[in-house]
């Protein structure tokens, strides 16, 4: 275990190819750390446990007192980290685990770590969090909003259901395809079925007197829509022939459909934004609500930057 600091714009952590999990040393944080350890062990990846502490905790009026406090504070943090690593090595034999103590802002450090980490894992307050937390967000919200790669969020209320299916939300966006890639991999590693959900509220597309017309056309519409959605992940499915896949096209809001499915799921995967998003949008309304109200762990993914930039450029060229 070593101590790291970061300056403006970068951190110096060996996160490449690792699963990185943040902890504050509390019992509450152990849930996210344990989940990260299980995922790292299943994927045969090294785990890095990171504790991020702020700068000086006492004013600079008495330098000697301040320095002594900082040393004591860091020593206690290191002790907690070492104890956590020892716990993981005992509970998860064979796990490649290390730790780092970093000085900085937690959301910044973890978001930066996501640039080359295999995955970043954070704990969060769930649906029973205080209203001010829901409105203003916390570390997990900031990490997901600014991350460059997949982020798993483990809330207080998230149930443990490793044998439950993996659920993924799908539309035609690049972010949804990235979510499908990760969801298929997760279902394959866990040896569980994958449920692919595409949700749309067709009743909102017209006025009440048009509902009968929609109902009469629904068989044809659903057939066409199912074919299009299957096309989004068809090539990915071929790489996972042993994964049982169920496609559900449902009349619902995307967020509610995923939250409902999370009741029996072991993991939900969702893109950072869907078809309604735009390049530069930090986090879509669907992913925000799913993160807060899902009953199981949630992973938020992002499309490859090159694909997003290309799509944006194509749209600008078309507009021009």
Q: What is the CATH number of the domain that holds 109?
A: 3.40.50.620
End-to-end CA distance of the chain: 54
134 belongs to a structural domain: yes
Same domain, yes or no: 126 and 203: no
Positive or negative CA dihedral for 224, 273, 261, 212?
A: negative
Tell me which of 123, 155, 187 is where a domain ends. 155
Q: Are residues 125 and 104 in the same domain?
A: yes
Looking at the fold, whether 147 and 286 belong to one and the same domain comes out as no
Q: Do 130 and 183 reside in the same domain of the chain?
A: no
160, part of any domain: no
173 lies in the same domain as 309: yes
Mean pLDDT of 199-223: 64
Assess whether 273 and 133 both reside in one domain: no
Residue 214's CB is within 10 A of a number of other CB atoms, namely 13
Low-confidence winner among 196-200, 207-211, 273-277 (lowest mean pLDDT): 273-277
- Do 220 and 108 share a structural domain? no
> Does residue 61 form part of some domain?
yes
Residues in CB range of 278: below 8 A, 6 or more apart: none
Among 61-75, 77-91, 103-117, the range scoring the smallest mean pLDDT is 61-75
- Mean pLDDT is lowest, of 10-19, 65-74, 91-100, 109-118, for 65-74
pLDDT reported for residue 211: 55
> What one-character-per-residue DSSP string does 208-224 give?
GGGHHHHHHHHHHHHHH
180 and 146, same structural domain? no
- Other C-beta atoms closer than 10 Å to the C-beta of 44 total 10
Give domain status of residue 212, yes or no: yes
* pLDDT tens digit sequence for 12-71: 688 999 999 999 888 778 999 999 999 999 999 999 999 998 765 545 555 555 667 778
- pLDDT (0 to 100) of residue 198: 92
The reply to whether 94 falls in a domain is: yes
For the CA atoms of the chain, what is the radius of gyration? 22
- What's the pLDDT at 64? 52
Mark which of 155, 182, 205 sits at the end of a domain. Answer: 155
For the chain, what is the domain count?
Answer: 2
* Position 161 in a domain: no
119 and 199, same domain (yes or no): no
Domain final position from 155, 189, 212: 155
Q: Is 201 part of a structural domain of the chain? A: yes
Total Cβ atoms within 10 A of residue 66: 15
Higher pLDDT, 4 or 267: 267
Domain extent for 283: 166-319
Collapse the DSSP code of 299 into the 3-class scheme (helix H, G, I; strand E, B; otherwise coil) and give the result: strand
Contact, 80 vs 51, CB < 8 A? yes
In a shared domain, residues 133 and 227:
no
Q: Residue 126: its pLDDT value, please?
A: 52
pTM of the shown model = 0.79
Does residue 93 share a domain with residue 188? no
**Residues 20 and 89 reside in one and the same domain:** yes
Asked whether residue 95 is assigned to any structural domain, the reply reads: yes
């Amino acid at each position: 275990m070593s101590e790291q600091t970061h300056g403006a714009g970068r951190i110096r952590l060996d996160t490449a190819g690792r699963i990185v999990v943040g902890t504050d040393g509390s019992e509450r944080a152990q849930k996210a750390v344990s989940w990260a350890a299980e995922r790292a062990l299943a994927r045969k990846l090294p785990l890095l446990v990171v504790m991020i502490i702020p700068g000086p905790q006492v004013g600079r009026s008495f330098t000697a007192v301040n320095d002594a406090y900082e040393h004591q504070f860091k020593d206690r943090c290191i002790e907690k980290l070492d104890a956590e690593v020892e716990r993981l090595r005992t509970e998860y034999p064979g796990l490649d685990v290390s730790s780092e103590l970093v000085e900085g802002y937690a959301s910044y450090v973890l978001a930066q770590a996501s640039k080359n980490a295999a995955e970043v894992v954070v704990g969060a307050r769930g649906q029973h969090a205080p209203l001010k937390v829901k409105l203003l967000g916390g570390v997990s919200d900031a990490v997901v909003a600014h991350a460059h790669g997949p982020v798993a969020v483990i809330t207080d209320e998230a149930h443990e259901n490793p044998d439950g299916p993996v659920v993924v939300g799908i539309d035609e966006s690049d972010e949804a395809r990235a979510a499908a890639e990760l969801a298929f991999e997760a279902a394959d590693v866990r040896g569980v079925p994958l449920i692919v959900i595409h949700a749309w509220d067709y009743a909102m597309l017209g006025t009440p007197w048009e509902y009968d017309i929609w109902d009469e056309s629904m068989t044809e519409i659903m057939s066409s829509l199912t074919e299009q959605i299957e096309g989004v992940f068809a090539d990915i499915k071929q790489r996972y022939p042993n994964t049982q896949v169920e496609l559900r096209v449902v009349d619902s809001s995307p967020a509610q459909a995923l939250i409902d499915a999370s009741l029996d799921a072991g993991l939900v995967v969702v893109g950072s934004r869907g078809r309604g998003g735009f390049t530069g949008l930090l986090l879509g309304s669907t992913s925000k609500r799913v993160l807060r109200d899902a009953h199981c762990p949630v992973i938020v993914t992002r499309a490859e930057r090159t694909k997003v930039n290309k799509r944006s450029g194509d749209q600008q060229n078309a507009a021009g």
